[in-house]
C-alpha cells in the first residue's frame, strides 16, 4: 500500500511517501509563525500553501497514492466564515492573550468539574475555549462571523476533501469535547463560549476515512480524485502509534519542546497533566495519553548557544554540553552549594500553568562564567525532566523500554541519566510517518 503521510509542525511540514509501512521519500517545507507580543498565530493561508508545496514535491515523483494520513501540532484553533475564509490564523499553545478569559472560564465552571469534563484545566492558548472567548470579548465583529471552528487537521482535510471533521485527540484541545467518555461536544461549554454544535466539526476516529480527494484538489496537487483521506490526529499521537501502544508505554520526544507521553488504557485527568485521547478507536485500540512537557527544552539549548556561545561551532558546543553532562552523572541534582547559579526553565512559559511564567537566572555575580550558566540550565532541565517522569510514574507503572525521538540527543542523555530506575532506550526513526502508515493499514483499501 502506498501512503502519503503528512506531519504538520509549527515550523515545517514533512510529507513522506510510504510503501508497505516503510518510509521511502521525505520532503520538508517551512511554515512561518507570526509573533505579536502575547499573540502567536500561524497564518492559515501560509499553512495551506506549505501543505500544497509539500504534497506536490512528493507527487512529482510518486504518482499513485492509495491513501492520505496526517498529523499536526495542536492546539492551532482556526475559525472560518460561511464562505470558509479564515477569520484569523491558527492560534498556537504559545499564545498567551487569553489569560483573563481562562480564569473567568475556570471560575464559572469550577476547576474539578472542568477537569472531569475536558480532562484539562483551560490553559490560556493551550485549550481553544480561552482563545474563542478572547475573540468573543475583544473582537466581537469577527466572532459573529464564525461559521466553522476547528484545528489544523480540520482545515487541511477540508481543503483536500471538503469535509469539516476532527478526531478526538484534536477535539480535546478545543476544550469543548468530552475527552473522558468520548461522548461528543459538551453543551454547557459550547453555550458559555457562544457556539452551536453546528459550527463544530463532525467527530471521527483518526483511523476512519474522513472523505476523498476532490477533483479540484487532485488537479492542483497531483493526487488521484477519490483518494481516501483519514481523519488524522495530533503529532504526539502519531509518534505513539509507531510503538505497540501498550498501556505504560512512554515516548520521550526531545525537541524544541521536550515531551513525555505516557500511553494509558483509561484517562487519568489531573490539573498538572495534559490529558487527551490518542485519537484512534475505529479499528485500532482506544487509548489515552498523559503528557508532560518542558515548553522550551531544545529551544533553551538553542537560546544558550545563540546568546552565550555564539563564537562556538555547533560541534564545540555539543562537546561542551556532553562534558558538563558527564560531570553531573552520579551527583544528586539538588546537591549544589549555596549561591550557585540557578535557572528557571520557562523561556517559553509553562503549558500547564494558568499564569505567564518566564525563564530567569539567579545568583549571578561578577565571578559567574557562561559555563556556570550553561551548567545551571542543564541541571534545571534535568531536574524538571526527573520530576515529570516521577509524576507520570504515579499514574501507572512505566514500561522499562522507553522510545525516544527528537534532535536533542545530548540533552536527552543527560535527562535519562537522572531518571529513577533502570531503562532501555529505543530510538524511533521517522516516528510520525511510521505511525501514520498504521491508520490506512487497518482499512480495506485497494492498492494501486
For 2-242+430-441, which CATH superfamily applies? Answer: ATPase, nucleotide binding domain (3.30.420.40)
| Fold agreement between 2-242+430-441 and 298-427 | yes
The pTM assigned to this predicted structure is 0.91
Superfamily of domain 298-427: ATPase, nucleotide binding domain (3.30.420.40)
Beta carbons of 2 and 64 less than 8 angstroms apart: yes
Residue 154 in contact with residue 218, Cβ under 8 Å?
no
Q: What residue spans define the domains of the chain?
A: 2-242+430-441, 298-427
Closest among 45, 41, 43, 64 to 53, alpha carbons compared: 45
CA distances from 204 to 170, 217, 325 (A): 11, 22, 45
Per-residue pLDDT of the chain (448 residues; tens, 9 = 90+): 899 999 999 889 999 999 988 899 999 999 999 999 999 999 999 999 999 999 999 999 998 999 999 999 999 999 999 999 999 999 998 899 999 999 999 999 999 999 999 999 999 999 999 999 999 999 999 999 999 999 999 999 999 999 999 999 999 999 999 999 999 999 999 999 999 999 999 999 999 999 999 999 999 999 999 999 999 999 999 999 999 999 999 999 998 889 999 999 999 999 999 999 999 999 999 999 999 999 889 999 999 999 999 999 999 999 999 999 998 886 776 556 667 899 999 988 888 888 888 999 999 999 999 999 999 999 999 999 999 999 999 999 999 999 999 988 999 999 999 999 999 999 999 999 999 999 987 666 644 4
For cell 487541511, what's the residue? 156
Closest CA to 250 of 386, 389, 120: 389
Amino acid at each position: 500500500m502506498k501512503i502519503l503521510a503528512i506531519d504538520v509542525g509549527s515550523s515545517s511540514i514533512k510529507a513522506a511517501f510510504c510503501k508497505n509501512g516503510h518510509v521511502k521519500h521525505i520532503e520538508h517545507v517551512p511554515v512561518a509563525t507570526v509573533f505579536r507580543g502575547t499573540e502567536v498565530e500561524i497564518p492559515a493561508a501560509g499553512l495551506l500553501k506549505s501543505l500544497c508545496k509539500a504534497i506536490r514535491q512528493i507527487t512529482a515523483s510518486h504518482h499513485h497514492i492509495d491513501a492520505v494520513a496526517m498529523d499536526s501540532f495542536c492546539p492551532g484553533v482556526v475559525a472560518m466564515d460561511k464562505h470558509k475564509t479564515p477569520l484569523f490564523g491558527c492560534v498556537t499553545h504559545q499564545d498567551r492573550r487569553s489569560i483573563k478569559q481562562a480564569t473567568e472560564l475556570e471560575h464559572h465552571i469550577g476547576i474539578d468539574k472542568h477537569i472531569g469534563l475536558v480532562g484539562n484545566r483551560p490553559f490560556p492558548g493551550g485549550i481553544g475555549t480561552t482563545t474563542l472567548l478572547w475573540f468573543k470579548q475583544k473582537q466581537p465583529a469577527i466572532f459573529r462571523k464564525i461559521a466553522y471552528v476547528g484545528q489544523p487537521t480540520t482545515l487541511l482535510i477540508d481543503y483536500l476533501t471538503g469535509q469539516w471533521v476532527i478526531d478526538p485527540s484534536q477535539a480535546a484541545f478545543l476544550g469543548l469535547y468530552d475527552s473522558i467518555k468520548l461522548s461528543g461536544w459538551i453543551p454547557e461549554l459550547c453555550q458559555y463560549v457562544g457556539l452551536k454544535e453546528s459550527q463544530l466539526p463532525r467527530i471521527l476516529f483518526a483511523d476512519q476515512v474522513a472523505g476523498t480527494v476532490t477533483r479540484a484538489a487532485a488537479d492542483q496537487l497531483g493526487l488521484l480524485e477519490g483518494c481516501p483521506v483519514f481523519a488524522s490526529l495530533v503529532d504526539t499521537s502519531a509518534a505513539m502509534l509507531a510503538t505497540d501502544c501498550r498501556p505504560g508505554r512512554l515516548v520521550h520526544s526531545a525537541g524544541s519542546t521536550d515531551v513525555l507521553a505516557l500511553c494509558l488504557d483509561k484517562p487519568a485527568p489531573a490539573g498538572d497533566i495534559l490529558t487527551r485521547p490518542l485519537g484512534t478507536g475505529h479499528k485500532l485500540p482506544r487509548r489515552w495519553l498523559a503528557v508532560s512537557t518542558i515548553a522550551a527544552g531544545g529551544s533553551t539549548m538553542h537560546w544558550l548557544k545563540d546568546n552565550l556561545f555564539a563564537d562556538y561551532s555547533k560541534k564545540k558546543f555539543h562537546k561542551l554540553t556532553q562534558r558538563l553532562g558527564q560531570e553531573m552523572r552520579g551527583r544528586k541534582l539538588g546537591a549544589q552549594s549555596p549561591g550557585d547559579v540557578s535557572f528557571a526553565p520557562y523561556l517559553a512559559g509553562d503549558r500547564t500553568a494558568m499564569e505567564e511564567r518566564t525563564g530567569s537566572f539567579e545568583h549571578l555575580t561578577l565571578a559567574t562564567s557562561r559555563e556556570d550558566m550553561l551548567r545551571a540550565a542543564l541541571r534545571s532541565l534535568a531536574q524538571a525532566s526527573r520530576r515529570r517522569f516521577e509524576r507520570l510514574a504515579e499514574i501507572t507503572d512505566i514500561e522499562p523500554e522507553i522510545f525516544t525521538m527528537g534532535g536533542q540527543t545530548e540533552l536527552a542523555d543527560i535527562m535519562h541519566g537522572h531518571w529513577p530506575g533502570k531503562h532501555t532506550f529505543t530510538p524511533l526513526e521517522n516516528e510520525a510517518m511510521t505511525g501514520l502508515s498504521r491508520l490506512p493499514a487497518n482499512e480495506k483499501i485497494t492498492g494501486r
